[in-house]
Structure 1
Amino acid sequence: MWIVFALLAAVSAAIVVTLSKIGVKNVDSSVAFAIQSVLILLVSWGVVIGQGNLPDVMRIERRVWIYLIIAGIVTCLSSLFSFRALKLGNASQVSPITNVSLLFAVVLAIVFLKEKLNWQVVIGAVLMAVGAVVIAIAKD
């Protein structure tokens, strides 16, 4: 079932890139991000409340809070960088480069999460990275 959600996330991300590129055309990239962030905040907490998970917030361990807060800060930075890149570049070139995060995620998962590396992951990550670079350097 995870693959269905991963594919839905990928399709959603592609739609977000497209709509964000249109949105930053005549608006500062940080303003566009701030507008989306408010909606993300409302929807995410609405889902937590709607699912009845609000009491779970009080049971989160301090160490987990720290990881989630740091991840939230990095998420904000990532989005700010992405919005700025979209403001300055073509969505068809920006998106593949931002998705080189796959390569970084594989490395970080191996180093910090002790996940196993196999030849399929290596070949797939290299192909995606090469593909992103080829798309990014394509002429208009």
Structure 2
Amino acid sequence: MTGDWFFWAALSACFAALTAIFAKVGIQGIDSDFATLIRTVLITLVLAPFVWLAGKWSNPLSLPGRAWLFLSLSALATGASWLCYFRALQLGDASKVAPVDKFSLVLVALFACLFLGERLSLREWLGLALVAAGVLLLALKR
């Protein structure tokens, strides 16, 4: 089971949910950009020893240029996402911010089709349309 992608994706969703709750409480009274920096430093301090102790460390200079390019772009996108997410959490309710943030699910599917050549079934497109409709419903003011 732990080798199954769904297990790890579901675990990611659980941690992402906790992220929203913990962040909403943690950013009270401090600047959201500074809070993002603190979060990033803490992630580095936890992840670096984990990679080292798990024996997964390798020489980063041996990575191909393409890997560096796309990992760098991913890091920039992650940083921008976190900055925007923490700002949104500071300004809005976590129960409203998190679902809108998860509109990324729809965007990932669209980008995967456009840039990675992935193909989705009619059932999958319908599911994404329902997600998009749910995000709109949650985002609209009463």
What TM-score results when the alignment is normalised by the length of structure 2? 0.93
- Greater CA drift, 75-84 or 128-137: 128-137
1:83-122 correspondence runs (5 A): 83-122=86-125
Unaligned runs of 5+ in 2: none
Deviation of 1:44 (Å): 1.9
Kindly provide the CA deviation profile for residues 41-93 of structure 1, in whole angstroms up to 9, marking residues without a partner as x: 11221222112122253431111101001110110000000000000011000
RMSD: 1.2
State the alpha-carbon separation in 1 of the partners of residues 50 and 65 from structure 2. 23
Runs (4+) of structure 1 moved beyond 3 Å? none
User: Where does residue 137 of structure 1 map in the other structure?
Assistant: 140
Unaligned runs of 5+ in 1: none
What TM-score results when the alignment is normalised by the length of structure 1? 0.94
- The code of the aligned residue for 1:97 comes to V
Q: Percent identity?
A: 34
- Number of paired residues? 139
- The counterpart of 1:63, out of the listed 66, 71, 75, is 66
User: Where does residue 84 of structure 2 map in the other structure?
Assistant: 81
